[in-house]
Amino acid sequence: MNRGQSFLLLLIGSVALLTLFVISPFVEYVIASAILAYVLYPFHVRLSRRFRRALAGRFRESLSRRLGNMLSALLLIVSSIVAVILPLAYISWVFVRDLTEIARGNTDIDVAAIEAEIAALTGEQIEVGEVLAAVGQLLANTLFGGVGGIVTTALRASVGLSLALFLVYYTLLDGPAFVRWLRLTSPLPSNVTADLVDRVDAMTRGVVIGHIVVALLQALVAGIGLWAAGIPNAVFWTFVMAVLALLPLIGAFFVWGPAAAYLVAVDQVAAGVFLALYGVFVIAMVDNYARPIVIDQQAHLNPAVILLGVFGGIYSVGFTGLFVGPIVIGVLAATLETFREDYDVI
């Protein structure tokens, strides 16, 4: 390596560090926008093709292609706002409201009935209200830096979300060109680069669809059951299940199982039995059938690794870490697997 190459590498490294420093306040939204664009891209391909055919007779081919891509990206972003972001914003608001109340020791749960039932069964007096308040405070500290940081987090999330939507738009338009640029710029041999890109693609698809989407679907189904059974703070417990559901078979049970027992303990036997049956025949079936259908076995990661990514991501970057953490670990796994196979490392 000559002097000019060494200087250029040093310059690239320095600028890369400065770039990371500049975008670090919103790096989770940058990654989240890339994930959303990745999920939307197959729909973008089909939709833009239809727009191009509709515009083909009115404009030049290059212009109709560009207009078709732009219209498709805009329509997908608007659809995402209506179908995903607005409902998620409302659910997040309700979750924050419930979490704040729980952290302050205010809850609609019949704490006295639970404490009396525990005392009757074990002979021990446990302050359930204090335990719930401690859990709520821990979640508030982890997600928002404390109850007082919720407003700051909300303002930052608003700016980050606006940035993410712009990034999604331009990623849908120029994402394929960026991937081609990465393939050409990569110092790896072309076959290794192609293998790495394919593995990252399969791993990302497996993590996003096979684990996170199924966990969110299971949590949503379970949350509907909690709401129908009359469990207080159902949105809060749905968020908890969204994390626990990443553990196959038993994850969401840690919420709906005790919830059914709670209903029986407060003399709502019919609601408790309903929730138990709903959990066994509906909630559990989502995990048993949906996960094997949608997951790509070639991109399968151990659920414990996914759960580690979720907790680590939430602790490191906040709420969006729920999605970002597992993706980062999945990409690392894909990179290591490519290195092992393409360079014959045992």
Sign of the dihedral defined by the CA atoms of residues 68, 71, 75, 77, in that order: positive
Q: How many helices (H) and strands (E) does the chain have?
A: 16, 0
Are residue 193 and residue 337 in the same domain, yes or no?
Answer: yes
List the one residue out of 328, 303, 196 whose CA is nearest residue 246. Answer: 303
Q: Domain for residue 14, yes or no?
A: no
Quick one: tokens of 110? 């019949």
Are residue 295 and residue 321 in the same domain, yes or no?
Answer: yes
Q: Domain for residue 9, yes or no?
A: no
According to the model, what pLDDT value does residue 277 have?
92
Please give the model's pTM, rounded to 2 decimal places: 0.69
According to the model, what pLDDT value does residue 274 have?
93
**Secondary structure of 72-111 in HEC code, one letter for each residue:** HHHHHHHHHHHHHHHHHHHHHHHHHHHHHHHHCCCCCCCH
Q: Domain for residue 150, yes or no?
A: yes
Quick one: tokens of 290? 């949906």
Quick one: tokens of 3? 């002097």
* Total number of domains in the chain: 2
| Domain termination site, one of 185, 219, 234 | 185
Domain span at residue 306 reads: 187-345
d(CA 271, CA 290): 26
Q: Integer distance in angstroms from the first to the last C-alpha of the chain?
A: 29
Are residue 202 and residue 79 in the same domain, yes or no?
Answer: no
Q: Domain for residue 107, yes or no?
A: yes
Q: Domain for residue 175, yes or no?
A: yes
pLDDT values of the chain reduced to their tens digit, one per residue, 346 residues = 677 778 888 888 899 889 888 888 777 788 778 888 888 888 898 898 888 888 777 777 777 788 888 888 899 888 888 877 777 777 778 777 777 777 777 777 777 777 777 777 666 777 777 777 777 777 777 666 665 666 777 777 778 888 888 888 988 888 888 888 888 887 888 888 888 888 888 777 777 776 777 788 888 899 899 999 988 878 888 888 887 777 655 678 888 888 888 888 888 889 889 999 998 888 888 777 776 666 545 456 666 777 788 778 777 776 667 777 777 887 888 888 888 777 765 5
Are residue 214 and residue 76 in the same domain, yes or no?
Answer: no
CB–CB of 251/194 below 8 Å? no
Task: Provide the 3-class DSSP secondary structure of residue 320.
Answer: coil
Are residue 249 and residue 296 in the same domain, yes or no?
Answer: yes
User: What are the DSSP calls for 222-244, one per residue?
Assistant: HHHHHHHHT-TTHHHHHHHHHHH
According to the model, what pLDDT value does residue 296 have?
47
Q: Domain for residue 239, yes or no?
A: yes
d(CA 16, CA 170): 21
